[in-house]
Each structure stands twice: as C-alpha cells, then as structure tokens.
Structure 1
Amino acid sequence: MSRADSLRPDYSLWHLIAVELRRQRQIRKISGAALAVILDCDRSTVARYESGDVQLPVGRARILDREWGLLGFFENLVKHAKEAQDLEWWETFKEYERRSNLVKTYEPSLIPGLLQREAYARAVFTTSRRTDVEEAVAERMTRQQILTRPNPCKLMAILDTAAILRIFGDADVMRDQLSHLLEVSEWPNVYLRVTSDRLIGYGGVGGGFTVMQTPTGDLGFATVGSTGHISLDPADIQEQAIRYDQIGMSSLTIEASRAFIAKTLESIS
C-alpha cells in the first residue's frame, strides 16, 4: 500500500487536502510533472503533497484555486487545517518517529521519552495521573527501538538543566535514569547536551519541541502549555531547527554535559 492510499481524510484535514489535490489533478487529467510546473516546484514535491508527507503551503493553495477556478477552496482548507486539532496527531507523530533517520529534540522539563528508563517513565506517567500507566510505559519502551535497530536513528537531544535536576520517583529511579543517560551518551548515534549549569536565560527558550527528518519528509512538533502541535510545513520546521541551534549555542559541550550529569548523579543520596 502506498502512502497516498493510507491517508485518512475522515480524521485529518491535511489528509483531506492531500487526497483532494490528487483527485482534482486526476479529474483534469494533469500529470504530476505538469502540476509541478504550475506550482513552480519539482515533481517530487507534488508527490509529497499528495502523499501527505509535506503540507501544502497557503501560497500554492492560492495558485491552485486561481488556476482551477476553485474560489478559495484549497486556501480555506489549508487555513482551517493550520488551526485544527488533528485527531490522529499522536499516530502521525509515532509514524514519522519510526521512519526517522534523524531526530533533534529540546526538552525543558523531562528526560526525553526516547531516553527514559522504564521506572522513570512510570513515575512520570503516575505523577501526571494517567489511567493507562503500564500501557503508556510499554509504548514508550517500544518507541526507543529506533535507537538500537539496524541503521539506527540519530538522536540529537538538548536537555534543560532542570530536566536533569528534577526528581521523578525515588533516588534509585533517578540514579538509574542518570546512569542510563551517561551510557547512551557514549553511543555513536546519540548526541546529548545540557544547557548551561549557570541557570541563566538563553536564546530560543520556551516549550519543548522536536524535529524529525525522514527519507520522504520532515515533521515538527512543539508543546504549548499542556497541548502539542505537529506540523509538516517546511517554514515551521525550519523555525524549530533555528531554535534548536540557538539553544545549542548556549549549552554545554558534550563532554561538559556528561560531567554535569555525572556530578548530579553523585549528589543523589
């Protein structure tokens, strides 16, 4: 089954846009290459719009509406999709994560899920009053397999100092978790850094976010308060990548980050 055939327009406006773009093109008997000329992009970009791997930008939505006489149809769909809550956002997130060859993430409050130990994850879910703690823990452990599979995903993670110092569970849980961070930081596909231990403000600070790169398209995820937002818009993803670099400029080196984690581990009584 192709990516386009697996789209769910009944759950996602972005999937509806992808399906409708393909349908409208086929109705007009226009090839993907011909549509690429109309949109001033290459054929592969059109294919990614139709597969849902990349979101249709509002500017190109306007071009479609003008060329096909659709009176704002695609432009309005795109605008609504940008504001809507995708009912399958978590499934979309996990699908991109499974296909990722590179994940960049910044976490201000917790150890990133891909690096959490089972006991730490259980403590986090219990503290947040999840009713499905064991199922959530099992899912999180399964997700971590992308780091140990053949041709493993590369993970570049920046953790705020608070995420290292904040205790979930008891002392044994935190010792186990910090020891694990030291171990995985030596893996060739994991690059782990901590923000400055001077507890000063730094550029790009805000909620946590993740950028995933896959062979067919990229995804950005950001947290705002208690809610999350995913985006396939290249402009949104680029903005998150810039934030990651800004935070990285104010962070410790990889070696200094290991030293800070080790120092914190030694201080746990």
Structure 2
Amino acid sequence: MAHINILDPSASPLDYYGYELRRHREAAGLTQRQLGDVINYTGSLVGQIETARKLPTEPFSERVDAALGTGGLLTRLLGLVLRSQLPAWFQQVAELEARATEVYTFHTHLVHGLLQTQAYASAVLGAMDRSKLDDRTTVRLARQRILKKEQPPVFWAIVGEAAMRQEIGGPDVMREQLSRLMSYEIDPRVNIQVLPFNAGAHAGLTGPFDLFRFTDDPTIVYTEGYGAGHPTANPDTVKNCSLRYDHLQAAALSIKDSAALIRRTMEEHYGESQLSSDGRSLA
C-alpha cells in the first residue's frame, strides 16, 4: 500500500488547503491522477499540493472547486494561503493593503508590487535569490487580488522616471511592464503619475514610502529596509509623509502626461525596432 502523508490541517493555511483538497477529492471517489485529468493538471501536481509541498494557484483552485463542487471553498482559502507564504515581516503590510480603502505609494527605481507583471516580479525577486522563484512570484502577484475586489481600494502610485528606464529582465519584460502601467490610464481607481528627472530636488529624496488609509482606523505610514518593514501610525510621521506626498503629486506629471511618457519610453527604449539582426542598438 502506498504511504499517505498525514496532514495536520492546523499546522498552516497551506496544510489546511491540502487537507481540504484531499478530503473533497476522496469524497468524490477520484484518485489524484483522475482529478488531474479532469482539471487538466498532472496527478503529481495534485499530490504535491495535497501534501503542502507546492503552492496552489488561482486557476488551479477555481478548476478544482468547479470539478468537486466545493462551492468556491479552495478559491476563498487561496488568499489566506498565499499571504501566509509572504516573509513574516511583510505579512502585516499585506494585511494593511487588503484592508485599506486608499493606498498611496511612492517608489523611485522600482514599479510597485501591486502593478508588477509576472515576468518583472520574477526578475526582481530573482536578482539575488532564485530559490523557489516560481512560488515566491506567485505569492507576490497574489497581492494584486485586492485591485479586483468588488470594492477595491483607490490606489495611487507615484513612480520615478528611473523605474521606467532601469532595464529589469530585458526589453521584452520592460515592454510588457510598461504596457501594463498604461493599461490603467482609464481606470479611475488606479492612478499612476511619473516623477520625471527634470523635477529636480523633490519631497521624496529621503526614500520610498507608502500610506494606507482606512474608514475607521488611523492612517499608517510604511517604509522598508533590507529584510524589514516599518509600519507606524505616529501622528507626526503620518502628517509629515502626507505633506510630502502632496508635494510629490504636485511635482509629478499629470496622469495623462505620465501615460504619454511611459508610452514614449516604451517605444524609444524597448520597441521591437530598436535592435538590429545582430542585437546591436539602432537608437
């Protein structure tokens, strides 16, 4: 008889997900391979997720829910599972993102995680550590689910022009990433402004920061260092950073002009016509 791993559903959200997946599969009288055939995944992957050795994805969860008639159980669990896989110091930030009614971010050299494409996120996360890169990328992208909620937060991002020009992952990755940013131009709840190089000295020279605003709770300011996050509700810090954000918005290009700069940067620096057949730049 094959050895069956005994899962403790209380060990972690991932273990609980695997326990529920196995319980519903067995109740349906299906083997791992049979379920895999139904949902167009391998039986091996089903087994890895059941034993908490592999992270589930949204498409996987939705297909299993449909195949087993779980009423959306696994899809609902997915957010909790993926959030639990974030670094411990960042889990509180993800909770703030999920609860906030308004999110304001400022970053100089990097596109914010809530706006990253899969390829861009993978390139960023893999810069110094490529271990479990696919799973870590999945976890980061899962945070973007808040923008698809029935009542998503108002999201405002100010991004430095340097982030448009820093070639992360190669031209194809950057082209896709800038195209993603432009896709939000007509979305009134996702607003992107570019802080151009010619803005000169500005209110954000001290470094990137985020503001999380809530209906009933105090505003939180979040800053980040290497392997550590620093959320605070200190009134003086919140007042200072709110003022800085107002000045950054005034110094940045308008939403329309920002989209035009992003489009121009994509065409001039990452357009398909920028390389000759031997790979040399034609610009």
TM-score, normalisation: structure 2: 0.61
Q: CA deviation at 1:113?
A: 0.5
For the 8 Å contact 2:116–2:177, the answer to whether it is kept is: yes
Distance, in Å, in 1 between the alignment partners of 2:216 and 2:138 is 28
Q: CA deviation at 1:224?
A: 4.6
Deviation of the 1:210 alpha carbon = 0.3
**For 1:246 and 1:105, how far apart are their aligned partners in 2?**
13
| Paired amino acid for 2:140 | R
C-alpha distance in structure 1 between counterparts of 2:165 and 2:93, whole Å? 28
Alignment of 1:113-152 (within 5 A): 113-152=113-152
Check whether the contact 2:125–2:133 (CA below 8 A) recurs between aligned residues.
yes
Q: Which aligned pairs between 1:163-174 and structure 2 lie closer than 5 A?
A: 163-174=163-174
Letter in 2 for 1:95: E
Aligned position for 2:229: 228
Quick one: distance in 2 between partners of 1:128 and 1:228? Answer: 19
- C-alpha offsets along residues 57-94 of structure 1, whole Å, 9 cap, x if unaligned? xxxxxxxxxxxxxxxxxxxxxxxxxxxxxx95412111
The Cα offsets for residues 168-225 of structure 1, whole Å up to 9 and x where unpaired, read as: 1111111100000000232120111001242622233221110011233232111356
The CA distance in 2 between the partners of 1:161 and 1:135, in whole Å, is 30
Residues 191 and 224 of structure 1, relative CA distance in 2, 3 Å threshold: same
Q: 1:241 corresponds to which residue?
A: 242
Moved over 6 A (4+): none
TM-score, with structure 1 as normaliser? 0.64
Amino acid at match of 1:253: S
Distance in 1 separating the partners of 2:225 and 2:142: 26
Question: Residues of 2 paired with 1:242 and 1:199: CA distance?
Answer: 17
Separation of aligned partners in 1, 2:182 and 2:220 = 28
Residue 226 of structure 1 and its aligned partner are, at CA, apart by 6.5
| Separation of aligned partners in 2, 1:201 and 1:224 | 22
Cα displacement string for residues 101-158 of structure 1 (whole angstroms, at most 9, x for unaligned residues): 1000000110000000000000001113253322221112111111111011111110
Instruction: Tell me if the contact between 1:207 and 1:224 (Cα under 8 Å) persists in the aligned partners.
Output: no
How many angstroms apart in 1 are the aligned matches of 2:130 and 2:252? Answer: 32
Q: SS where residue 240 of structure 1 aligns?
A: helix
Looking at structure 1, the residues matched to 129 and 174 of structure 2 have their Cα atoms a distance apart, in angstroms, of 20
**Residue-by-residue CA offset, 1:6-65 (whole Å, 9 max, x unaligned):** xxxxxxxxxxxxxxxxxxxxxxxxxxxxxxxxxxxxxxxxxxxxxxxxxxxxxxxxxxxx
Q: Counterpart amino acid of 1:255?
A: K
- Counting aligned pairs with the same residue, the percent is 30
**Alignment of structure 1 residues 249-260 onto 2, 5 Å:** 249-260=250-261
Contact 1:205 1:247 in 2 (8 A): no
Q: Which residue pairs with 1:157 in the alignment?
A: 157
Say if 1:109 and 1:163, in contact at 8 Å, map to a contact too.
yes
The aligned amino acid for 1:252 is L
**Aligned amino acid, residue 111 of structure 1:** V
Partner Cα separation in structure 1 for residue 169 and residue 204 of structure 2: 30
Equivalents in 2 of 1:108, 1:206: separation in Å? 11
**What is the alpha-carbon distance in structure 1 between the residues aligned to residue 135 and residue 213 of structure 2?**
27
Output the amino acid matched with 2:165.
Answer: L
Which stretch shifts more, 120-129 or 87-96? 87-96
Aligned length: 183
Which deviates more, 235-244 or 144-153?
Answer: 235-244
Alpha-carbon RMSD across the aligned residues, in angstroms, is 1.9
When residues 179 and 156 of structure 1 are mapped into structure 2, their CA distance, relative to the original with a 3 A threshold, is same
Q: Report whether the alignment pairs 1:266 with 2:261.
A: no
Would you say 1:176 and 2:176 are equivalent positions?
Answer: yes
**Relative to structure 1, is the Cα distance of residues 131 and 118 closer, same or farther in structure 2, using a 3 angstrom cutoff?**
same
| Unaligned segments of structure 2, at least 5 residues | 1-86, 275-283
